[in-house]
């Protein structure tokens, strides 16, 4: 393994391996910048919260706020992945998909990785401080979820549920950044995101079924086995219903419905196509959730038209 070799779950033509200077590649891979899907999946709940709050005020989402959430998500995802790799370095060395990551392969030391985590977190903090006090408090509180996540796979079959609690915190934060508070529509949207993540991360875990079992790592995919496709469908139905409930309680207009229906159809298609024996197919389904999450952003933003009297 060299710094210029694409990692197994990164596209062979990813921009890091093709264009980044060789000295920077291990650092960019440590932060998963060669696999941008995770940035989208961390950012999109924040965009959804911003879109929901804006629609309830009959306004377009703030472009500046969305840009801040994009930057913050990229940095915090990088910090979280590096922290996760520090904690999991011994497990990662035993799993084929992760053995060549920068820490277990020896390209970056644990001490260097900690410096990377702190730097990304401090820059993210500067972005967070531009928001209101409620959003700042929520941002700080999310660190507890982030810190606990790597240990969940050691103590529960459902680390994917904890990831859902962590990755979708941005829905609350984005809503609070617009409104200065947290209301029931934001809570329902957050709950929707938890089930969405439980579904797509179960799909992602299908790639590691054999390696996780050998390494003693727990996951929802291992726990569910052949029942995973049906369970994912159930998680996605809950995500869809809760998203509709958030729009309803928020008084969003009926123009939310067409893109919301596309969101639901996209999720059901993933569940129908999931095969627990097809790891590469599972990875492709997982990556498609960037589009699914964007469809929900569009649905929520479209709800700005029409008042509560004609809400969905």
312 residues of the chain, pLDDT tens digit each: 455 567 766 677 788 888 899 999 999 999 999 888 999 999 999 999 999 999 999 999 999 999 999 999 999 999 999 998 998 888 888 877 788 889 998 999 999 999 999 999 999 999 999 999 999 999 999 999 999 998 898 899 999 999 999 999 999 999 999 999 999 999 999 999 999 999 999 999 998 887 777 777 889 999 999 999 999 999 999 999 999 999 999 999 999 999 999 999 999 999 999 999 999 999 999 999 999 999 999 999 999 986 544 455
Q: pTM of the full predicted structure?
A: 0.89
Is the separation of the CB atoms in 78 and 32 below 8 Å?
Answer: yes
In order of start, what are the domains of the chain with their CATH numbers? Answer: 15-310 (1.10.357.140)
Q: Show Cβ contacts of residue 85 under 8 Å, excluding neighbours closer than 6 positions.
A: 30, 92, 101, 102, 103, 104, 113
State how far the Cα of 28 lies from the Cα of 23, in Å rounded to an integer.
Answer: 10
């Amino acid at each position: 393994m060299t710094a210029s070799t694409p990692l197994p779950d990164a596209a062979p033509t990813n921009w890091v391996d093709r264009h980044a200077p060789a000295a920077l590649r291990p650092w960019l891979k440590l932060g998963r910048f060669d696999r941008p899907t995770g940035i989208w999946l961390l950012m999109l709940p924040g965009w959804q919260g911003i879109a929901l709050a804006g629609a309830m005020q009959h306004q377009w989402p703030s472009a500046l706020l969305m840009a801040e959430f994009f930057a913050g998500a990229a940095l915090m995802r990088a910090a979280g992945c590096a922290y996760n790799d520090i904690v999991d370095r011994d497990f990662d060395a035993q799993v084929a998909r992760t053995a060549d990551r920068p820490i277990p392969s020896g390209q970056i030391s644990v001490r260097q990785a900690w410096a990377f985590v702190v730097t990304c977190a401090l820059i993210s903090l500067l972005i967070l401080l531009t928001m209101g006090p409620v959003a700042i408090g929520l941002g700080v509180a999310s660190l507890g979820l982030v810190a606990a996540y790597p240990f969940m796979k050691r103590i529960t079959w459902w680390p994917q549920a904890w990831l859902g609690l962590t990755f979708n915190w941005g829905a609350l934060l984005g809503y609070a950044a617009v409104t200065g508070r947290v209301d029931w529509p934001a809570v329902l949207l957050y709950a929707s995101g938890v089930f969405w993540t439980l579904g797509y991360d179960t799909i992602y875990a299908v790639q590691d079924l054999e390696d996780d079992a050998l390494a003693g790592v727990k996951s929802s995919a291992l726990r569910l086995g052949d029942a995973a496709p049906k369970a994912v469908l159930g998680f996605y139905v809950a995500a869809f219903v809760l998203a509709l409930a958030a729009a309803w309680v928020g008084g969003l207009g009926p123009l939310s419905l067409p893109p919301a229906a596309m969101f639901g159809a996209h999720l059901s298609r993933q569940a129908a196509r999931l095969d627990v024996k097809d790891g590469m197919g599972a990875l492709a389904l997982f990556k498609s959730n960037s589009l699914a999450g964007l469809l929900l952003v569009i649905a929520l933003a479209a709800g700005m038209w029409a008042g509560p009297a004609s809400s969905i």
